[in-house]
Structures are given as structure tokens and as C-alpha cells.
Structure 1
């Protein structure tokens, strides 16, 4: 049985995969088409999501800010100009690393202190930051759905309930 916070991460991966499967059925231009939204395109939204997957994985791994911040430009660059399938591969790689981190973290509720250069200190727990990762992804998958609808394409349901139903059916 998965830890509840780990199951939420598996939902996050499932929802991203479901969205990538959907994008594979749409015209390739839909991924890079400019729209008026939170981000200028679906590809930019996924680039942002990828950057923050990397960032929060590093935070959860206990990497110091002085080692994380210099990597932000390269993580941003890594995701720019990618096709949907190439972006999917980037997400698959970071998901594998995230799962490895989760396996190496026996206590998902271990206490953590995070120092943010603007917002200050946060005393929290590993599982809280992991929930933030999932919530962040949910928010931006909603952005992607809105962007696709602006372009005349349907979205795809990625609600947690659909994940649970699909998971139950496969057991």
C-alpha cells in the first residue's frame, strides 16, 4: 500500500501522462500555439511545470538553495522549444528521479525547514511540500485545458476521482 502522499504523487504522474496522451491525438501545432492565458502556450506551461518539478524535487532532497538556484536557468533552457513528446520524456525522467527520492524517504512526514529568499522561513513537512507539487500540477493542467479549449480542442479529465476509478479497475 502506498503512503497517502506517495499515492498523490502517483496521481500527479498519471494526470500528466493522461494529458500527454491527449496532446498526442491533437494537431502538433496545439502544443506551441500562442494564446492569451497565464502562459503564452501549452509548451510554456509545461516548461514552467518541469522547472518546478526539478526545483521542488531538489528542495525535498535537501539540496541547499546555493546549489539549486544556479540550476534554474539550465532547467528552463532544457524545456524550451521541445515537442510534446520530448517534453513527455523530460517529465518521465524527473518522475523516475522523484519516485527514487520517495523510496529513499522512509518518513514522508519528516520535518523540514525551507528558506526562501523572498518569503522567508517555512517550518513544514516533506509530505506538505509533496502535496504542493501535486497541487501545482493540478492548477497548471487546468491552465492547459483552458488553452486547448481556446484553440477549439476538448480537454481531458484528470481529476483525482478518475485516477482512483482507473486504479481500482486495474487491481
Structure 2
């Protein structure tokens, strides 16, 4: 549980660093904003699935302004913080059934879903950093080791 909780603290720390950078570089690359919104929307979708609710109507890709992104950063953090605070290690092995956005059903453990949700964002934050550098902005250090230091 401790590792997963640390991963989600890192996720939130990383999202905060990205949002601050985007706020200071407004008017930048639209693809950067769309990737960041995708990270946050996907976190929302995975949380919804973990709660046993239907996520099939939630957007995964959508244009979201920076103010709404900031709200999603904070809401997602609160949602996962509450979820993880009440979770025990045995619950991580429970299977969650859900449908993806195309209606296809899947079954995965809570542990695998949480791991995916944490790693998914890091993948896209790497893409964001690549685009920032290509547009002559300083990439955001979101390395886990920096977070734990």
C-alpha cells in the first residue's frame, strides 16, 4: 500500500508542477494542453471505474481550459487520497469489472488499475516535456527521485 500511496503523491506533485508551468507559458502548444487534459480525464475515468460506476460516457480526450485542469488536478487528488486512505492491502487484489469507452468489458485487479493510473500520466508527462522543449520552453522535472528527495 505504501508504494501505491507514494505513486499517487508523486502523480499529484507532478500534475501540480505541470499545471504551474502551463500557467506561466499560456498561449503555448495546443497539443501540450490536450495531453495534460487527457492525463486528468483518464485519472477521473479510472477513479470512476474503481468506485464501480459507469465511466463509458466520460471523455478521455477533450479540450479543457487551464482553470478546469487545475480543478481536475485537485479533485482527482482528493478522490484518490480518500480511496487510498480506506484501502487495505487485501483489497488491492479485488477484481474490478468495467467497460471501456467502446463498451468492451474488462476485469483487472485494483492494484493493476492503480498502477496503470499512476504510470499512464508519467508517460504523457514525458510527451509534454518533449513538446515543451521543442517549443523552446524548459521541460518540467517530474522524476520520481526528485519527488522523494
For the residue of structure 2 that corresponds to 1:69, the secondary structure is coil
Q: Does 1:102 align with 2:84?
A: yes
Q: Does 1:47 align with 2:43?
A: no
Matches of residues 130-145 of structure 1 in structure 2 within 5 Å?
130-145=114-129
Matches of residues 3-82 of structure 1 in structure 2 within 5 Å?
3-26=2-25, 28-30=26-28, 33-34=29-30, 41-63=31-53, 67-70=54-57, 72-73=58-59, 80-82=63-65
Q: Distance in 2 between matches of 1:47 and 1:86?
A: 9
Q: 1:81 to 1:20 in 2, by over 3 A?
A: closer
Q: Does 1:89 align with 2:71?
A: yes
Q: Does 1:162 align with 2:149?
A: no
The alignment's TM-score, normalised by the length of structure 2, stands at 0.84
Matches of residues 115-130 of structure 1 in structure 2 within 5 Å?
115-116=98-99, 117-118=103-104, 120-122=105-107, 124-130=108-114
The alignment's TM-score, normalised by the length of structure 1, stands at 0.74
For the residue of structure 2 that corresponds to 1:114, the secondary structure is strand
- Between structure 1 and structure 2, the one with the greater Rg is 1
For the residue of structure 1 that corresponds to 2:92, the secondary structure is coil
Structure 1 unaligned residues grouped into runs of 5+: 35-40, 166-171
Q: Distance in 1 between matches of 2:87 and 2:52?
A: 11
Residues 34 and 61 in structure 2, CA contact (< 8 A), matched pair in contact too: no
Query: By how many angstroms is 1:113 displaced?
Result: 3.6
Query: By how many angstroms is 1:29 displaced?
Result: 0.7
State which of 152, 158, 163 in structure 1 corresponds to 2:136.
Answer: 152
Structure 2 unaligned residues grouped into runs of 5+: none
Query: By how many angstroms is 1:115 displaced?
Result: 4.3
